[in-house]
Copies of this chain bind each other. A is one copy, B any other.
Amino acid sequence: VDVRYINPFLSGTVEVLSTMAHVQLIPGKPFIKSGQTAMGDVTGLVGLTGEVRGSLSVTFVFRVIQATMKGMLGDEITEIDNTVRDAVGELTNMISGTARRYLAEEGLSLRAGIPTVVSGKGHVIQHITNSPILAIPFQSQFGRVLVEVSIEG
C-alpha cells in the first residue's frame, strides 16, 4: 500500500466525524494486514475505481455509532435500524469524498460506487484482494472505529 493513501483516509475520517457529529477520533498507528477481518456492529462500504481499483470500509462498534447519531440528530438510538444504516452510508460517502478530494490534490483521481451498509452483531468484513490492506484504527471516548482501505495497482 502506497503510504500516500494513509493521510487522505485518516484525515477524511477524523474531519467527517468531528464536523458532522462532534465525535473526536484519535488516530492510532496504521498497519498493513492481509487476510484478516474487521469485526463490528455496523459497517459502511464503498467500491473505488479509477487509475487503481479499491474498496473502503468504515466499521463502528455500537457505542460509537450511538454517540455519532446523537451528535448528528440529537437522538439516543437503542438499536441499529434503517435510519442508522442510512446515516452510516452518508458518513461513508463523505469520508470517501473527502479522502478522494485529498488524493486528487496528489494527482490520484478515483470514483466511488453507491455505498452499502452492513449491520449485524459481530459481523465480519473481508476485502477480496491479493494486495495488502491498509488498516487505520481510531479511538474515541465511546470506543473504536476501524477504517480499512484496499487498493490494487
Contact = CB atoms under 8 A, between A and B. Distances in A.
A116 interface: yes
A54 B128 contact: no
Interface residues of A, number: 42
Contacts of A92: 128
A113 B47 contact: yes
Nearest to A93: B128
Given A46-B47, A47-B55, A119 B113 contact: no
Nearest to A120: B123
A118 B120 CA distance: 10
A152 interface: yes
Contacts of A128: 44, 85-86, 89-90, 92-93, 114-117
Given A55-B47, A111-B49, A116 B120 contact: no
Q: What is the count of identical protomers in the complex?
A: 2
B53 A113 contact: yes
A31 B35 CA distance: 35
B86 A126 contact: yes
A121 interface: yes
A48 interface: yes
Nearest to A96: B47
A144 interface: no
A116 B128 CA distance: 6
Contact of A37 (B82, B127, B150): B82
Given A48-B47, A82-B37, A117 B113 contact: no
